[in-house]
């Protein structure tokens, strides 16, 4: 029996558990190998896209089609050690998909400008579309923004105190960006001339064990954008379909890895703009609407409504 027949007749357990859309690509053997993990008694089989050391230097002229790393992790974190490979890829400049407490997100290291540009290319995003950051703690928020409004003695809500009750959780808070934020994020898209600089950024602190573990081990925040279907802008909730949609193909670069944390539901984060005098609710989502969040349609000031309508974070 030849090698192809052997693999078809006795497939690897990992191949059997890989996403249905990807199994056919794996046979007979486009490069199956064991990822080096600290627990040798728990080897993980995964599809390897390319040497992680070369990810930083990947250019638009590099059109080689190959597989992304696909890692399945229990949503409760019982096998969180499998993420070691993903952590290293992110440190080396990879762009990939991870779960959050809402929907899946395309992410990269905040300190990798080339990787941020790749997110825009892979997703084919309008340069005017904003990106958000996934934070480990309030310290990250203090570093990359000017912080939460503190309120005053006239009875204005202390937003910092109120926001602490929401994080970690399914919210995106829009805050003024600090000088530490990459220019691609405050300009919304790689410094394109058509983009007027915007000095705000959406911050998230997800309550998800997989996402939290990645942020903790990476020891830094991630740039992120939600994953949608290009044709109709609907949420993509199945990681296998995400890989098929945004994986590399002939003439098109794609994702370097996908972390499968199970199916998600179409319930995005609740978005609140905290850049003005009044906290304005731009989008209802998974996070409950608190009393101090003013729904944009209830704002009496027409300028508030106009600014909210033009805010790109309202259409995350």
Cβ-proximal residues to 193 (8 Å cutoff; 6+ apart), any chain: none
> Is residue 15's pLDDT more than 60?
no
Would you state the pLDDT for residue 160? 83
Whether 140 has a pLDDT exceeding 90, the answer reads yes
Kindly report, residue by residue over 246-259, the tens digit of the pLDDT: 999 888 899 999 99
CATH topology of domain 18-315: DHBP synthase (3.90.870)
Q: Which two structure tokens, joined as six digits, stand for 106?
A: 């395309």
Does 209 score more than 60 pLDDT? yes
pLDDT per position as a tens digit, 88-123: 999 999 999 999 999 999 999 999 999 999 999 999
Backbone angles phi, psi at 264, to 5 degrees: -115, 170
* Domain range summary for the chain, segments of one domain joined by +: 18-315
State the Cα–Cα distance between residues 76 and 53, nearest whole angstrom.
31
Q: Is 106 in contact with 125 (CB distance < 8 Å)?
A: no
Tell me, what's the pLDDT at 211?
98
Residue 151 confidence (pLDDT):
61
Residues 6+ apart with CB under 8 A from 78: none
Burial class, 75, CB count within 10 angstroms (exposed 0-12 / middle 13-18 / buried 19+): middle
pLDDT of amino acid 183 = 75
CA angle 103, 294, 316 (to 5 degrees): 30
pLDDT at 308 over 90: no
**Residue 158 — pLDDT band, cuts 50, 70, 90?**
confident
Quick one: pLDDT at residue 316?
67
Task: State the alpha helices, DSSP H only, in the chain.
Answer: 3-9, 13-17, 20-26, 84-91, 113-123, 138-144, 159-164, 183-186, 209-218, 239-246, 302-310
Lowest mean pLDDT among 2-11, 95-104, 183-192, 213-222: 2-11
């Amino acid at each position: 029996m030849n090698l192809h027949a052997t693999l078809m007749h006795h497939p690897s357990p990992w191949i059997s558990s890989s996403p249905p859309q990807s199994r056919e690509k794996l046979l007979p053997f486009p490069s199956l190998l064991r990822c080096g993990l600290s627990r040798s008694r728990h080897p993980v089989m995964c599809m390897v896209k390319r040497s992680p050391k070369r990810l930083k230097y990947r250019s638009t002229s590099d059109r080689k089609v190959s597989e992304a790393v696909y890692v399945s992790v229990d949503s409760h974190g019982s096998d969180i050690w499998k993420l070691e490979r993903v952590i290293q890829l992110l440190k080396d400049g990879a762009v990939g998909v991870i779960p959050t407490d809402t929907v899946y997100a395309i992410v990269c290291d905040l300190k990798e400008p080339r990787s941020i540009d790749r997110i825009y290319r892979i997703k084919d995003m309008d340069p005017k579309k904003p990106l958000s950051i996934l934070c480990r703690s309030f310290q990250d928020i203090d570093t990359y923004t000017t912080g939460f409004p503190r309120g005053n003695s006239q009875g204005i809500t202390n937003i910092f105190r109120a926001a602490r009750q929401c994080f970690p959780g399914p919210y995106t808070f829009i805050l003024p960006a600090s000088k530490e934020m990459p220019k691609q994020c405050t300009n919304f898209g790689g410094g394109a001339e058509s983009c007027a600089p915007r000095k705000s950024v959406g911050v998230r602190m997800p309550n998800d064990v997989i996402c939290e573990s990645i942020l903790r081990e990476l020891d830094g925040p991630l740039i992120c954008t939600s994953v949608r279907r290009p044709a109709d802008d609907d949420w993509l909730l199945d990681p296998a379909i995400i890989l098929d949609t945004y994986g590399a193909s002939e003439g098109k670069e794609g994702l370097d890895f996908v972390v499968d944390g199970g199916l998600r539901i179409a319930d995005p984060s609740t978005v609140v703009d905290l850049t003005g005098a009044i906290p304005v609710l731009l989008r209802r989502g998974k996070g409950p609407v608190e009393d101090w969040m003013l729904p944009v349609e209830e704002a009496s000031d027409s300028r508030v409504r106009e600014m909210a309508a033009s805010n790109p974070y309202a259409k995350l």
